[in-house]
Structures are given as structure tokens and as C-alpha cells.
Structure 1
Amino acid sequence: MQNPRLAGRYAKSLVDLAQERNELEAVYADMKYLQDVCKQSKEFTNVLRSPVINADTKEKILNEIIIKNISKLSSAFVNLIVKKGREKTLPEIAHAVIDQYNEIKGIHKVKLITVSPASEELKTAIANKVKADAGLAHVELENVVNEGIIGGFQLEYNGNLVDASIARDLRDIQKQFQKNTYIRNIR
């Protein structure tokens, strides 16, 4: 994130205005859509961040891709951001809006990292277990595939990491051999 403080300020103003107008759900859906577009198309994000492309061209691109698919409040906000020359922070603003929405609604993000995609039953079971153990009311589970953990899983939530991966076990064994704790026991 290039400028999280700036993104947070713009996001707070949008969230506050959306709450005033009872359009928070629509704005949240719009920001999820914008975030998905940014994730799917690196070219789109590069266009937003490009200093070579002028603001009028960026506004036309945004109108074609984004504006026609989002609510009036969100489209007015995006147009304001472009007019202020802050369009390069639009992906960060969308992320900050989603984070603030989750905070308002009491939704906690949980990231499950596995070697292969997890089944829906496993995701549900893990979400329920995290809810019960951590005392969380609402959990949004995201499954990330990372073959580097070799096997097992990693679970991240509220700044905590539960690492039950084989890669961690192998690192622990490597540390034990580097310390040579077994040599003392043999003598």
C-alpha cells in the first residue's frame, strides 16, 4: 500500500457519507467490485498509477470500466478522486473502505493457507472453529493456495498466525540439528 493514511481518510469520508444516506451496503459492494477489477487486471491498476496518462483519459477509462457498474454515490466519489488527482490511490481506498465496513459490521477476516484449494466443508468447519475458539461473531474466510508450505495449513486472523505446516516442521528440525542438541545426549 503506497499511502495508507491518505486512503484511510478518503475511505472514512466515503463510509461516513454512505452511512448518512443509508447506502453503506451498496458502497461496500461497489468497492468489492473495484477491488476485484484491480486484482484481475494489473493493466488497469497500472493505468491508474501511470503519470504519463492524463486525468481526462483516466476518467474516460474509469467511466467505461467502473462507473457504469457502480452506484451514483460511488461513481461521484470516483470522479472526485480523479479530479483531485488521487486516482492512483483508488485501489488502496477501496481496500480501506472494505476494512472499515468489516470493522463496523464486526466481520473478522481469516486467511487459510493450504497447498491445494480447501473444500467447502473444511472451510465451514475451520470458520466455525475460529468463531468458537476466538469468540468472534462473524468470520470471512479466504482460502489462499501456497505450495511452499508443502503440507498442512497456516491460519491468519487478528494478527495471529497458526502455523501447522510441514515446512515449519522441517525448519524446526533443521534448527535442532544446527544446535546439535543430540550430541550432548549421546556422550
Structure 2
Amino acid sequence: MSTSAIAKRYARALVGIAAEQQTVEQYGSELGRVREAFGVEKYLRLILESPTFPLNKKAAILNDLMELLELSEGMRAFLGLLLEKDRLQYLAQIERDYSRLADEMAGLVRAAVTASRELDVKQQQAIKAGLEQQTGKQVELSIAVDEELIGGLQVEIGGRLFDGSLKTQLKRIEDTLKKG
């Protein structure tokens, strides 16, 4: 089974449980905190993922981490299962898949907008409204500025990139002129 299939299976199961318990946001936040801890403390992650380190010692370390992060009982059980099944190495993918599934369940889609300059509130609202009309879902924007775009926007939503930047348009014209 591929790693992405494994991560999706665990994420789908956790979203299902969280939906039943009405803790979808809480579990998402807790998953993020654990992933951050693994990112900051690389040796912690390496020890917990090591096949040669004794399981009982890994369980004690993970338990201490869960205490420190003040995780819910449901999340503790989930992380314990990941440790027992030797699946902690998939935690980052599980978190991404969990977030995507939770967003789908809530009818939310995230869009990353890159603009050539700062956008005012009115422009942001217009972009959001247009994307909501196109997708039929609630849109959450994250906005970045890249002056190299010269003008226009790039929007990444649902894994697709829509590029309306002046830089890309000029590049297309250049390519057309070179081809003759």
C-alpha cells in the first residue's frame, strides 16, 4: 500500500471519529501541534520512528509529549495507535489529509492568492466572492505578495493554479515570438 493511501486511510478514520464526537477542529489543532513538535525536535521524531528503539520506551516518550501538549484522550488514543502500528512517520501526511477532509466536510476550500502588490480589503472581498461563486463553497484566502509578477494574480485552489500574472503573459508572448 502506498504511503499516501495509508495516510488517507488514517485521516479518513480520524475525521469520521472527530465528526461523531464534534471535535473536528480540536483534533486538527492537536495534530498540528504534534507535527510542529516533531518538526522542531527532529531527534524526538527519529526516536519515535526508529524500528530499533524499544516500543515501551517510545510509548513513554510519546506519553510525556502528549502530556506536555495537553492532548485530548481521543488524540492520545490515535497517536498511540500510530505508534503501535509503526505509522508515526506518516503524521505530516495524515495531518494534511485530515485538514483537507475536514475542510470538505465543512464546505470550505482554501485558496492561496499571490499578487504583485498589496491588496486592499475591497479587492480581497471581490476575489473571495468570485471564487466562492465559481466553487460553490466557502473560500478562505491566504494572500502573499510577489513583486516579480509585475501585475495581476496567481490563484492556487484545489490543487490547480490559475495564473493571470503579467509576468506569465509576457513570457507567453516571448515564446510565441521566438517560435515565429
TM-score by length of 2: 0.76
- Structure 2 unmatched runs, 5+: none
Deviation by residue 1:90-115 (Cα, 9 ceiling, x = unmatched)? 11111111111111111112111235
Question: What corresponds to 1:97 in structure 2?
Answer: 98
For structure 1, the 5+ residue unaligned runs are: 181-187
Tell me whether 1:43 sits opposite 2:42 in the alignment: yes
Aligned ranges for residues 26-175 of structure 1 at < 5 Å? 26-35=26-35, 37=36, 41=40, 43=42, 47=46, 51=50, 54=53, 56-57=57-58, 60=61, 63-64=64-65, 68-115=69-116, 118=119, 121-132=122-133, 134-146=134-146, 149-175=149-175
TM superposition shift of 1:141: 1.5
Shift of 1:87: 0.7
Letter in 2 for 1:43: K
Distance 1:153 1:43, change over 3 A: farther
CA distance in 2, matches of 1:62, 1:119: 46
Secondary structure at the aligned position of 1:95 is classed as helix
CA distance in 2 between partners of 1:48 and 1:116 (Å): 44
Bigger mean CA offset, 119-128 vs 155-164: 119-128
**What SS does the aligned partner of 2:161 have?**
strand
1 CA distance for matches of 2:28 and 2:125?
Answer: 23
1:76 deviates by 1.6
The letter for the 2-side match of 1:155 is: V
Deviations along 1:131-180, one digit per CA (max 9) or x if unpaired, are: 13x05231121234556545432012234432121321221122122122
Summarize the Cα distance change of 1:3–1:114 in structure 2 as closer, same or farther, 3 Å threshold: farther
| TM-score (norm. length: structure 1) | 0.74
SS at match of 1:124: helix
